[in-house]
Amino acid sequence: MKKRVFFIARIALTIALAVVLFKFVPYSKLSAIFRSADKRFLSAGFGVFFTATVLVVMRWRYILCELGTVLSRREAFLSFFSGLFFNLFFPSSIAGDVFRAASISYRHGHTHRVASSVFLDRYTGAVSLALVASTVAVFSIKKNIDPRILIAVYGFLAAVAAGSLAIFSRRVFKFLTRIVISRALHAKIVKFHDELYYFRRHPPVFFKSLLFSFTIHILTCYAFYLNGLAFGLKISFVDYVIIVPLLMAVAFIPVTVAGAGTREAASIYFFALVGIAPGVALSLSLLNLAALIAVSILGGLIYLAFYHKQIQIKAIAREA
């Protein structure tokens, strides 16, 4: 019952944010912006975004294989893209993460290991986002960056640092687990944490995963940059490298469906701080959302055409 209430609340919040945003930036204005956009830059931006998505799959597969569950490239792509489809109906990208973890553990076992791979995949992405944004902000300090952007960047960095302590410090982890009353739940959390501790025992794996993540986020920022050129924006690529990680972090907060609404509101707010009009800022964010929806629909087709059959075959084999 509670899950249904929360789901309905998120749907309502998503719709409410959409209504407010389109009141703030009329549809007619958005339509004019898109009609005047350079379609060549828009196509290139989508191509770069799709390339970044493919690299995310490769990063996850690399971590999963290093943890001991060897997965073919084909199955990694099928599972990941199928999971993207479910993100269209649930908050943030949590549904996709749950699906890929459940589907791979169902077919290969090692539930805790597979769940850890998804978490570590997300974790390296968050670390990369925070490091990229904060590092670029430091080296761009002479640009007179708005203090509100810096506060957001370093607040995000502090949050990631706090999460890292919980992962890599057993002392901090033990302190946090004292609040867990259930012994069964405590045992599961400890086992899960042992898998997460893998990064500390194997630093090269962590740093290679970070290299994947750096590349992914630079490509994502470049996709925004190309979309900005399509709208005639002349702001520096550096501005995108600082702001886009903040938008991605906000979109991951599980309060609306697929991060819709929260990402767009954040886009209007942060891009306004570098002189971009609300209509164009909203257009940039909606393009990112459209790209996410496009690859999610592709994931749905992949699931129906290929991956659903593989899961059924596994189910039949288990029953036999």
How does pLDDT run across 77-92, given as a tens digit for each residue?
A: 988 998 888 877 766 6
Asked, for residue 4, whether it belongs to a domain, the answer is no
Token duo for residue 42:
């828009």
Asked, for residue 279, whether it belongs to a domain, the answer is yes
Rounded percentage of the chain residues whose pLDDT exceeds 70: 76
Mean pLDDT over residues 262-290, rounded?
A: 87
CB atoms within 10 A of CB 181: 7
Residue 166 reports pLDDT greater than 90: no
Mean pLDDT over residues 246-253, rounded?
A: 85
Asked, for residue 108, whether it belongs to a domain, the answer is yes
Is residue 257 very low, low, confident or very high in pLDDT (cuts 50, 70, 90)?
A: low
Residue range of the domain that includes 242:
39-319
Distance of CA 34 to the CA centre of its chain: 25
Asked, for residue 6, whether it belongs to a domain, the answer is no
pLDDT digits (tens, 9 = 90+) for 18-36: 555 555 565 566 678 778 8
Residue 301 reports pLDDT greater than 90: no
Is residue 144 very low, low, confident or very high in pLDDT (cuts 50, 70, 90)?
A: confident
Grouping H, G, I as helix, E, B as strand and the rest as coil, residue 109 is coil
Burial state string for 37-66 with b = 16 or more CB within 10 A and e = fewer than 16: beeebbebbbebbbebbebbbbbbbbbbeb
Residue 224 reports pLDDT greater than 90: yes
| 176, burial (CB in 10 Å: exposed 0-12, middle 13-18, buried 19+) | middle
Is residue 60 very low, low, confident or very high in pLDDT (cuts 50, 70, 90)?
A: very high
Asked, for residue 117, whether it belongs to a domain, the answer is yes
Count of domains forming the chain: 1
pLDDT for 112 equals 77
State the DSSP code for 26: -
CA dist 106 and 108 (Å) reads: 6
- Residue 25 phi/psi, 5-degree rounding, is -125, 100
Residue 62 reports pLDDT greater than 90: yes
pLDDT for 311 equals 72
CA dist 249 and 252 (Å) reads: 5
Asked, for residue 10, whether it belongs to a domain, the answer is no
Query: Rounded to whole angstroms, what are the CA distances from 203 to 25, 160, 198, 308, 320?
Result: 47, 18, 9, 36, 43
pTM flag (> 0.75): yes
Vertex 318: Cα angle to 72 and 57 (nearest 5): 20
